[in-house]
């Protein structure tokens, strides 16, 4: 028995080696490097080995840090809420109201295609809509709803959350749709036969059974928004700061040890959030 299993373990390892090497060199080592550098000292023009906690002390005592984290969590909560409500509704429609499989697949693909196109272009494409003379403002003025163009449409927190929802709702639709498609339809029939209304079926049968998908989508949206630095910079016009943006600014100023310390704190925050969410679901079972 053990003899028969040994070769299988060996071939298993050989086959997994390339993945392990790539992740080892481009994920594990870089993270260790960041942790190391976070204890180093920066001079005006360089940075070098040292062991001090100054970067952390500065980071954790700065009032800016708290503000930035509050801002980031606000983005995370709002984006998560809208991605979830929209994503769930779309997946619900596809899974339970579209009846032919061909149509389901076609409409599902229609929803996922933007995922394979450029995020930056998708952000840029909001300019003609939200700009001062954009479609939204001119329409509202024409309808007589406002007198002067709204300034908060583009380059604002509103625009940041809008862009997040635009970019990341797909990450909710896909896992939720996937979980919904595996729900045994006879359970719904049973609920209906037992006299449940459509709404009761939704809240008592479908939502509980869809939880794993909701959780996977939520992990994606939360981590993507937590670590983002481009969407916030671009859509806020440089006016808002999130954790990711602070790190990218420090990098731009060549303050690598400070950036590394901020990155470590961000990583720990994200890991705590995910650990809390992962307790609820085993990803491998859901694919």
Partner 1 sequence: MERRTRSFFPLAIFFGLFVLFLYGPIITIAILSFQGPQGGLTFPMNGWSTHWFADLFEQQAVGDIWGAFRRSLALGMMVMVVTVVVSVMSGLAFRKRFPGAGALFFLAVASLIIPSILVSLGVGLLFDQLGLRVHWASSGFGAQLTWTLPFGLLIMFAIFNRFDPAYEEAARDLGASPWQTVRHVVLPIIAPALIGVALFGFTLSYDEFARTLLAAGSYNTLPLEIYGMTTNVTTPVLYALGTLTTVFSLAIILSLLAVVWLMRRRAGRAG
Q: Hey, which residues between 22 and 81 contact partner 1 (CB under 8 A)?
A: 22-23, 25-31, 33-34, 37
Nearest distance in Å: CB 41, partner 1: 15
Q: Does 152 bind partner 1 (CB under 8 A)?
A: no
- Report the residue number, 18 or 208, with the smaller CB distance to partner 1: 18
- Distance between CA atoms of residues 230 and 248, nearest Å: 9
Of residues 140 and 251, the one with the C-beta less far from partner 1: 251
Q: Does 180 bind partner 1 (CB under 8 A)?
A: no
**Rule CB under 8 A: which of 191-220 touch partner 1?**
198, 219-220
**Which residue lies nearer to partner 1 by CB, 114 or 157?**
114
As measured in angstroms, the least distance from the Cβ of 120 to partner 1 is 5
> Which of 89/239 has CB closer to partner 1?
89
Q: Is 150 in the site for partner 1 (CB under 8 A)?
A: no
CA distance 217 to 171: 5
Residue 107 CA to residue 196 CA, distance in Å, equals 29
Site string for partner 1, 234-263 (x = CB under 8 A): x---------x--xx--x----x--xx--x
Among 191, 226, 232, 261, binds partner 1 (CB under 8 A): 226
Query: Of 122 and 157, which has the nearer Cβ to partner 1?
Result: 122
Decide if residue 280 touches partner 1 (CB under 8 A): no
Told to check if 187 binds partner 1 by CB under 8 A, we report: no
Instruction: Check binding of 11 to partner 1 (CB under 8 A).
Output: yes
At residue 192, φ and ψ (nearest 5 deg) are -65, -45
Kindly determine how many residues on this chain lie close enough to bind partner 1 according to the rule CB under 8 A.
83
Residue of 77, 113, 187, 280 that binds partner 1 (CB under 8 A): 113
Q: Which is nearer to partner 1, 96 or 209 (CB)?
A: 96
**Cβ(171)–Cβ(220) below 8 Å:** yes
């Amino acid at each position: 028995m053990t003899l028969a299993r040994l070769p299988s373990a060996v071939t298993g390892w050989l086959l997994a080696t390339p993945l392990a090497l790539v992740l080892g060199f481009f994920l594990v080592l870089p993270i260790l490097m960041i942790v190391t550098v976070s204890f180093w000292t920066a001079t005006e023009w360089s940075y070098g080995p040292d062991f001090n906690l100054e970067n952390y002390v500065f980071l954790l005592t700065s009032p800016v840090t708290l503000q930035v984290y509050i801002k980031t969590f606000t983005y995370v909560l709002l984006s998560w809420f809208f991605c979830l409500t929209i994503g769930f509704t779309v997946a619900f429609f596809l899974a339970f109201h579209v009846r032919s499989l061909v149509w389901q697949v076609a409409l599902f693909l229609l929803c996922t295609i933007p995922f394979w196109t450029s995020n930056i272009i998708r952000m840029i494409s909001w300019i003609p809509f939200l700009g001062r003379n954009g479609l939204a403002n001119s329409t509202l003025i024409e309808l007589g709803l406002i007198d002067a163009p709204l300034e908060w449409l583009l380059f604002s927190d509103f625009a940041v959350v809008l862009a997040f929802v635009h970019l990341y709702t797909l990450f909710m639709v896909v896992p939720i749709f996937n979980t919904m498609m595996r729900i045994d339809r006879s359970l719904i029939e049973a609920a209906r036969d037992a006299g449940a209304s459509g709404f009761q079926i939704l809240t008592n049968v479908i939502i509980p059974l869809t939880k794993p998908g909701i959780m996977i989508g939520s992990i994606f949206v939360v981590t993507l928004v937590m670590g983002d630095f481009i969407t916030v910079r671009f859509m806020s016009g440089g006016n808002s700061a999130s954790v990711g943006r602070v790190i990218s600014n420090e990098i731009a100023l060549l303050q690598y040890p400070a950036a590394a310390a901020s990155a470590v704190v961000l990583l720990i925050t994200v890991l705590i959030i995910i650990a809390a969410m992962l307790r609820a679901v085993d990803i491998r079972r859901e694919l």
